[in-house]
Amino acid sequence: MKRRDFLKAAGVAGAALAGGPAEAEQPADPIEFAGVLVDTTRCIGCRSCEKACSEEHDLFVPDIANDNALAAERQTSETQWTIVNRYETSKGEVFVKKQCFHCWQPACAAACLTNAMYKTTNGPVIWRPSKCMGCRFCMVSCPFDIPKFEYHEWNPKIQKCNMCFERLQEGKRPACVQSCPTDALMFGMKRDLMEIARVRIYNHPERYVHKIYGEHEVGGTGWLYLSAVPFEEIGLRTDLGTTPYPEYTRDFLYGVPLVLFGLPALLLGLNLLSGDDDEA
Amino acid sequence: MAIPENLGSEFRRFLGFMASEMRPKGKLLTPFNIISVPIILLGLGILVVRFTKGLGSVTNLSQDFPWGFWIGFDVITGVAFAGGAYIITFVVYVMRKERYHPIVRVTVLNGLLAYIFYAGALTLDLGRPWNIINPIIGNEFGYNSVLFLVSWHFMLYMMAEFVEFSPVVAEWLGWKRVRGFLDSLTLAAVIFGITLSTLHQSGLGALYLMAKPKIHPLWYSEFIPILFLVSSIFAGLSMIIFEGTISHRVFKDQIDPKKHHTFEEIVFGLAKGAAIAMFVYYFFKALIFIHEHHWTLLNDFWGFWYLVEILGFVLVPCFMFAYAVRHRRLGVVRVAAVLTLVGIVLNRLNISVIAFKWDAPIKYYPSWQEIVVTLMVVFAEIWVFRWIVLRMPVMREAHETPTSHSPAIEAPPLRT
C-alpha cells in the first residue's frame, strides 16, 4: 500500500475536484482516489464492520452476536452507514457488505447546490453539515440510494459512509477495514486494488466471476467487489450503466449560457421587428 | 424649508392611505373565507410541528421517496401553471400583440404570486432552511448542480416579475414619476424574465435527469427538459383561461361590462395557442415513444396509465381546443383547459412521485398534513391575490391618477 502517495494526495489542499481518470493520470503530482476492495468470497458475515463503523461515528451499535438481522435484506440507514446482507445464491450462502460506493464522479456531489456533498481529492465523498440546506436532491440523484436523511430531527443531517475521512487524514485505514477478521476488505489506491483483484481472479479463475464490480459501473467507483456469483444475485445493481451520472445533466448545463445570452438577443430582435408599421 | 414639510404631509397622506387600504373590503363571512381560514390556521399548526419535530412527523416522506407532494405538486406543478406570465409578456411586450394587453397585469400578478407561494413552499421542504443563503451569498456555489441554476432563476425571476408588476403598485400609490421610471424598465424585465423562465421551466425537468434508474422508462427521457418547457406553455395558457373564467365572475364589478366581449376573443386566442403547443408536445412524446421502442411497455398498468395521460389529457384537450376555436364554443374551451391542467398535474406527479420508483415495495402517498399545507399555500395565495385585485388597478382600467382614491371604489361583495 502506497500510504505515502496517499498522504501526498490528501495534502493537495484546495485542488479542484478531479474530473476522473483522465485527470488522475496527469504526470506531475498524480491525484489518485482511494477505495476498498470487497472480496465477498472471504466474508463470513460476522458484521464486525457494522459494529466498528457505528462505534467510530457514534451511531446505533448493532448487537452482532444476534443473527436475526441477517434474515431479510437490509439497506443502510440514517443510523447505520454500513450493513451486511446474506444472500442465498447458486453457490450457497454469500455475505455482502453495503455502504457508499464513493463514485469517481458522484451524482450526489453534482446534484448538491451548496457543495455540501463533496468528492475529496483523496477519494471519500463526504457531507459537510455547515453547507447543507437539506433539499435531499442528493438522495434523488444517487443511483445507489445511499444518502439517508433524518426525518425526525428539527436539525436533520444527511447520513452516509464517508470512508472514515477523518481516520484517513490521520494515516489510518477505515474502521470497517481495520475490524475485518478475514481480510475480506482491503483498503488502498483503486489502481492497486484493481491489480490485486485481477490477480485473485487469475489465480483462482474457478472461484470468481471474471468481472470486478465498480471498475466501470456509473463511471467507476472507489469500492470494488469480487464475487463467486453474478452480481445481481448478491444485491448489486448491474443495470446502472457505465456513464458517470453527472454526464446526464452536462448537456443541459452546457446549454444554459447559450440560452442566457442568445435568447435575450433574439427576443430584442423580435421586438424591434414586430414594431407597428405606423409607429416606425 | 418647503421640501421636508411637503414630504411630511405626503408621508402622512401615505400612512393614512395605507391604513384605509389595510381594512378588509367586502363581507367577511363568505364561503371561501369560511373554508380557507380554518385550513390556513390548521396548516400553520402543522408547520409548527414540522419545524420542531422534523419532516417525518407530518409527511410520508421516506428514504426511498425524498421528494413528495410538496415538491411534486407545489413546486414542480405550481411553477408550470405559472408559465402563463412569461408567455403573455412575450406576446404583448416582445411581439407587441396589443389584443392581449388587458390580461397582462392579472397574469403577471398571478405569476408573481405563484412563484412567491409555490416556489416559496420549497423552503418548507428544506431540512436545514437556514442554510438556504449559502448558494445565494456565494458562501458555496454548486455550479454543476441543476438545482443551483433553478433556485437562482427562481429568485431572479421573482425580481423580474416584480419589476413587471411594479407600475401597478406605483399607480395604486399615486406615484406618477416613479411609475414612469418603472414603465421604462418593463421591456428589459420581460426579456430577462422570458430567458429565465425558459431555463428554469426546463431546469425543473432536468432535476430528474440523474434519477434515470428510478423513473419508469415511459416517463424518463433525456428530453425531459424540453418536454417540461413545451408543456409549461400550454399549462400556463390553460391556467390563464381557468383563472380568468373564475375571476371574471368573482371580480366582475372590477371589469367594464363592455370588456367581456374582448375577454372572449382573448380566450379563443389563448386556446388556439394552447392547441398548437399541445400538438407539438404530443408529437414530441410520440417521437420519443417510437424512437425508444416503448411498444413493449404498454402492456401493463404503467402502459395503460401512460396512455391515460397522453391520450386522455393531452390529445383529447388538444382537439377540444382546436374544435372550440373553430366553432367558437367558449364552454368547450373551459372544459379543455381543466382537462389540460389535470394532465399537467398527472404528468408532473408521474415523474416526481407516481412513476418514480414505480417498482418500490412501499409506495409513497401524501399524508393529510401534506395536503392541508398545500391547500394552505393555495388559499394564502388567493387571499393575497384578492387583497391586491380589490385595491390595485389590476383588472379594472384605471389609468386615471388615483389621488382621491379611498372612497372611489367600494368593495364588491365577494362570491366564490
Could you say which residues from 53 to 82 on chain B have a Cβ atom under 8 Å away from some Cβ of chain A? 53-57, 59, 61-64, 66-67
Q: Out of B147, B187, B210, whose CB is closest to A245? A: B210
Residue B12 has pLDDT above 70, yes or no: yes
Could you say which residues from 138 to 177 on chain B have a Cβ atom under 8 Å away from some Cβ of chain A? 139-142, 144-149, 151
pLDDT category of residue B354 using cuts at 50, 70 and 90: very high
A161/A47 Cα distance (integer angstroms): 16
Would you tell me which CATH number, out of the four given (3.30.70.20, 1.20.1540.10, 3.40.50.11900, 3.20.20.70), belongs to the domain A3-243? 3.30.70.20
| The pLDDT of residue B36 | 92
| The pLDDT of residue B137 | 75
Residue B22 has pLDDT above 70, yes or no: yes
Q: Highest-confidence range of B22-36, B252-266, B365-379, by mean pLDDT?
A: B365-379
pLDDT category of residue B241 using cuts at 50, 70 and 90: very high
Residue A25 has pLDDT above 50, yes or no: no
- In this prediction, residues B389-409 reach a mean pLDDT of 59
| The pLDDT of residue A10 | 43
Task: Give per-residue pLDDT as tens, B46-56.
Answer: 999 999 999 99
- In this prediction, residues B220-227 reach a mean pLDDT of 95
Domain ranges of chain A: 3-243, 248-274
B141/A154 Cα distance (integer angstroms): 25
B222 vs A246: CB contact, 8 Å cut-off? no
For residues B15 and A23, the model is more confident at B15
Task: Give per-residue pLDDT as tens, B275-290.
Answer: 999 999 999 999 999 9
- In this prediction, residues A19-31 reach a mean pLDDT of 49
For residues B142 and B157, the model is more confident at B157
pLDDT category of residue A225 using cuts at 50, 70 and 90: very high
- In this prediction, residues A1-9 reach a mean pLDDT of 44
| The pLDDT of residue A4 | 47
Alpha-carbon gap: B215 to the closest alpha carbon of chain A (Å):
10
Task: Give per-residue pLDDT as tens, B309-347.
Answer: 999 999 999 999 999 999 999 999 999 999 999 999 999
pLDDT category of residue A128 using cuts at 50, 70 and 90: very high
Q: What's the pTM value of the predicted model, to 2 decimals?
A: 0.88
Kindly state whether A91 is in contact with chain B, defined as any CB-CB distance less than 8 angstroms. Answer: no
**ipTM of model:** 0.87
pLDDT category of residue A234 using cuts at 50, 70 and 90: very high
Could you say which residues from 347 to 406 on chain B have a Cβ atom under 8 Å away from some Cβ of chain A? none
A49/A186 Cα distance (integer angstroms): 12
* CA–CA–CA angle B236, B242, B248 (5° rounding): 125
- In this prediction, residues A64-70 reach a mean pLDDT of 86
Residue B227 has pLDDT above 60, yes or no: yes
Domain ranges of chain B: 30-389
| The pLDDT of residue B415 | 42
pLDDT category of residue B411 using cuts at 50, 70 and 90: very low
| The pLDDT of residue B260 | 72
Residue A23 has pLDDT above 60, yes or no: no
Alpha-carbon gap: B101 to the closest alpha carbon of chain A (Å):
15
Residue B187 has pLDDT above 70, yes or no: yes
Task: Report domain B30-389's class.
Answer: mainly alpha
CA of B151: which chain A residue's CA is closest?
Answer: A113
pLDDT category of residue A277 using cuts at 50, 70 and 90: low
